[in-house]
Structure 1
Amino acid sequence: MTRKRVLCISYQFPPFAGTGVFRVLNFVEHLPDRGWDPVVLTVLPCHYERGTALDDGLCARVNGSARVHRTKCFQGIDAMLSLRGKFRGNATPASAGQGEAAGSPPAGKGLWQGVKDAVTLAYRIPDKQVGWFPYALSEGFRICRREKPDLIYASGGPWTSFLIGLALKAHFHLPLVIDFRDPWMNNPYDELNVGFRRRVNCFLERWCLRRADAVIANTEPLRTLLADTAGSGNKCHTITNGYNEMEYVGLKARASGTAPLVVTHVGNLYGKRTPDSFLQALTRLIDTGRLGTHEVAVRFIGHVDEVRIKNLIGSHPVGAMVTCVGMVPKNQALDMLFQSDIALLIQPDTRLQIPAKLFEYIRSQKPVLAVCGEGATQELIEAHGLGVVADTDDPEGMEGAILDVIRQARSAERVVKKDYLAFEAGALTTQLAGVFDGFFPSYPQTKNG
């Protein structure tokens, strides 16, 4: 087998512990077995944004699989705010909050806030990680000169990684593969992608799509959209997210028939991702006697707004059914998922996206209750018979969906499907290596697996 080398540009890489890291990590782990030796360009852990979750245990999965180059990243907005704090100090004027109408901005805030907002939006072109560009580009030049990769792979978001990849491609004349883990211009969670910033990002997305040699999307609807913008469907491919079988070694499912049924949501809840409609439907089922408080227990693993949940539930008995676990290492989260009966997915208003956690749910073989609208997530769940889909704007439908998924979890005739094998990291990496190999038709084909 003729071995080849790929430069992988990814802002998110271990010990970064966010969901977005696992797609690239799985690829890097499995590429050597498919004839590709990865060299990774990423960020120093001390230069991630404040509050970034880290898991040093993930670094062990990289040892022996790849050489990793880490650089600084200028966090411009954080630096600006820190500078402002030094000038203003921590003292609060004695008159603050006095004599001001409720809801009115504090005196002196208007000018600073206007400047801050303008700088914030400008600094987010293409995203707030743009401060990584000069450091990564400089290191990328050194890597390309010394290690001479055959191909460049860039994972986004952040979209800054695409710009780094394009600059290196132009100088070294290497094939570039860009991988969209999320939509860029059609992401409902990027509320700041408006006005001038949106116009510039629209141009940059088109520029990246037209100049990349291959484009990968993690859902078919997203691939179709990107192909239209790229002006070529031939270079656009779909490779879904997936799971790594090694993470599931030793995990055991919960004994059937154990009460209460445990409903588990894994992952952070933010923005439009709220448990409100699910919890409200749960309270109505209890109030109408269709469900007892002793029958179901709900737990949220990850960052959630506990105050919001408590305010929503109040003194209702459903409060005793809900537990907020908080952040835990991934292996512990997967163990808790296996020790559950139902997997809860909350993904509203995302027509083009499928959350990575769904593939972990698929591997766990738990029936899924998906709170989502029409789109890629609903299509995947229905195509593979993974569970029940509920619309957040349909209260009665939500109640029915909860009862349906409970019946599925209790059913002794539930069929264990093998569909999950198609989403295993090794199988997905074989697809990626196939895209890479397409640029080198004279090389021997790498093995499948």
Structure 2
Amino acid sequence: MRTSGTYRVEAVMRFLPAHGYDIEVVTLPTEWMDYQSREGFPGGEVDAHQPESPTDPIIRYVSTVRYLNWLQRAILVPDLLTIWARSAARQMSSRLKDIDVVYATSPPYSGMVAAQRLADALGVPCVQELRDPPSFHRSIRRRSSFFGRRMVRFERKYLSRADHVITVTPRTRSRLLELHPRLDPKRMHVVTNGYPDIEVDPSRSGRDPSRFTVTYVGTFQGSVKAREESVFTPAVLMEGISELPPDQVSLRIVGSVSGQQKKNIGKLDPNGVVEFLGLVDREIALAEVAAADVAVILADDDDWWIGRKAFEYLRYAHTILAVVPPGDTTDLLRSHKRVDVVSPYELEGIGPALAARFEQWRRGDWERGPVPEGIQTDESCVAGIAEVLELALQDADTGAG
């Protein structure tokens, strides 16, 4: 069951066939077109089904009208695609043949609905993977308590019906078990994200090797004009950079930066140390990370989440400056010597951390260390998912499901 927003599913399609599975994908037509446009996407190796719902035109219209969109979000649980999910499950239950197990990764959370309904109709086990559990999601927590309670009930319903559940961090698993104490711990699994085991060539970066290079890949949160408490902004990073000799340092920003953001950042950069690279493809972005003397990573304020970027940086970056809150990401990163961790609530620590690494670089004490142990590739991540699928099939064979 295909849902949006993750390279994890792309890895599943790439590596799961090696574990003896043929893959049938059910997804939205627009999502499939988007994923097929990616370079190296393995979509040609799977059968894709793109059912449409007769209500799709209405849903698309509602989503563009501000107040109607707000109304549907208050009424439809879990999300706008719920109607499509039910229709897709109904259509595909008569089209799909010889299916052994249904796997869904969410969000969007309507994928949970489609997967469970399809599995029930086909009489096969269902494995639900929650990258971001609905009850944890910040956008849901910001809504009314009434909507939040409905989402918790939705989550409990579909996790209880699933044969097995995959989470992506230990903290996610433990919190779900606390929130839903009737869930069977033996059916709750952890399979962390991985990194793409590809050849990354740092020489593809255009950095000046004579300068201490700090690289940031991504976007900024909050205002680009000023320093804000517990918010990582260009001003915060520029404060740390400004403490270093301007003729020996470079800050390379990879990602989408608007004209206004560039203008405001320019006001903070009288010495011209900032370089804007814009949007680049994935391999170039990783080359920039690998070539940097310090790669900056920003994690959001969800202490239960470990994003894919953390694993990619641990694999390819020389040294990492991580602005992350206490939690699973911090626990992972702190275990490695090449990482400086700064709390988003103590941003004044960025300057001293960069200064210490700059002195280390200037002394020439700057050899790249080995890839840290305890992080896994995309291929090993999929192997973990395959193990859970096999457990679901074994339970179905023995009647334990």
TM-score tier (shorter): 0.7 to 0.9
CA contact (8 A) 1:252 1:338 kept: no
Corresponding pairs, count: 387
2:155 paired with 1:213: no
Task: Name 1:162's counterpart in structure 2.
Answer: 112
2:38 paired with 1:57: yes
2:377 paired with 1:427: no
2:302 paired with 1:320: no
| Cα deviation, residue 133, structure 1 | 1.3
Task: Name 1:22's counterpart in structure 2.
Answer: 7
Alignment partners' CA distance in 2, 1:173 and 1:158: 24
CA contact (8 A) 2:193 2:308 kept: yes
2:8 paired with 1:11: no
2:304 paired with 1:349: no
Task: Name 1:42's counterpart in structure 2.
Answer: 27
Q: CA 1:164/1:282 → structure 2, altered by over 3 Å: closer, same or farther? A: closer
Moved more, 129-138 or 160-169: 129-138
Task: Name 2:399's counterpart in structure 1.
Answer: none
Q: CA 1:47/1:362 → structure 2, altered by over 3 Å: closer, same or farther? A: closer
Deviations 1:124-158 (A, max 9, x none): x21233353144223431343x2x21111000001
Q: CA 1:427/1:328 → structure 2, altered by over 3 Å: closer, same or farther? A: same
How many percent identity over aligned positions?
Answer: 23
Task: Name 1:222's counterpart in structure 2.
Answer: 172
CA contact (8 A) 1:392 1:398 kept: no
| Cα deviation, residue 306, structure 1 | 5.4
2:130 paired with 1:177: no
| Cα deviation, residue 390, structure 1 | 0.8
Alignment partners' CA distance in 1, 2:205 and 2:284: 15
| Cα deviation, residue 262, structure 1 | 2.4
Task: Name 1:71's counterpart in structure 2.
Answer: 51
2:280 paired with 1:298: no
CA contact (8 A) 1:126 1:159 kept: yes
Paired letter, 1:301: V
2:399 paired with 1:418: no
Alignment partners' CA distance in 1, 2:168 and 2:276: 30
Moved more, 224-233 or 422-431: 224-233
Gaps of 5+ in 2: 397-401
Q: CA 1:416/1:314 → structure 2, altered by over 3 Å: closer, same or farther? A: closer
Task: Name 1:133's counterpart in structure 2.
Answer: 85
2:202 paired with 1:258: no
Alignment partners' CA distance in 2, 1:35 and 1:272: 50
CA RMSD of aligned residues (A): 3.4
Residue 280 (structure 1) aligned to one of 223, 235, 241: 235
CA contact (8 A) 1:263 1:299 kept: yes
- For 1:242, what is the secondary structure of its paired residue? coil
Q: CA 1:328/1:71 → structure 2, altered by over 3 Å: closer, same or farther? A: farther
Alignment partners' CA distance in 2, 1:256 and 1:46: 35
Paired letter, 1:234: K
Alignment partners' CA distance in 2, 1:141 and 1:322: 55
Paired letter, 1:394: E
Alignment partners' CA distance in 1, 2:167 and 2:188: 8
| Cα deviation, residue 118, structure 1 | 2.7
Paired letter, 1:61: P
Task: Name 2:152's counterpart in structure 1.
Answer: 202
Task: Name 1:80's counterpart in structure 2.
Answer: 62
| Cα deviation, residue 407, structure 1 | 4.9
CA contact (8 A) 1:28 1:38 kept: yes
CA contact (8 A) 2:164 2:187 kept: yes
CA contact (8 A) 1:367 1:386 kept: yes
Moved more, 150-159 or 410-419: 410-419
2:16 paired with 1:31: yes
Task: Name 1:151's counterpart in structure 2.
Answer: 101
Q: CA 1:204/1:379 → structure 2, altered by over 3 Å: closer, same or farther? A: same
Alignment partners' CA distance in 2, 1:34 and 1:369: 37
Task: Name 2:287's counterpart in structure 1.
Answer: 335
| Cα deviation, residue 373, structure 1 | 0.9
Alignment partners' CA distance in 2, 1:173 and 1:327: 45
Q: CA 1:55/1:116 → structure 2, altered by over 3 Å: closer, same or farther? A: closer
Once the two structures are superposed, the pairs formed by residues 427-446 of structure 1 within 5 Å of their partners are: 427-441=380-394
Q: CA 1:424/1:114 → structure 2, altered by over 3 Å: closer, same or farther? A: closer
CA contact (8 A) 1:259 1:295 kept: yes
| Cα deviation, residue 36, structure 1 | 1.7
| Cα deviation, residue 367, structure 1 | 1.4
CA contact (8 A) 2:240 2:352 kept: no
| Cα deviation, residue 190, structure 1 | 4.5
Alignment partners' CA distance in 1, 2:270 and 2:373: 33
Deviations 1:168-209 (A, max 9, x none): 222222111111112321123546543332121110001111
Paired letter, 2:17: P
Paired letter, 1:169: A
| Cα deviation, residue 374, structure 1 | 0.5
CA contact (8 A) 2:293 2:319 kept: yes
Alignment partners' CA distance in 2, 1:218 and 1:28: 18
Structure with more of its chain in helix, by fraction: 2
TM-score, with normalisation over the residues of structure 1? 0.75
Alignment partners' CA distance in 2, 1:274 and 1:235: 48
CA contact (8 A) 1:178 1:216 kept: yes
Q: CA 1:250/1:136 → structure 2, altered by over 3 Å: closer, same or farther? A: farther
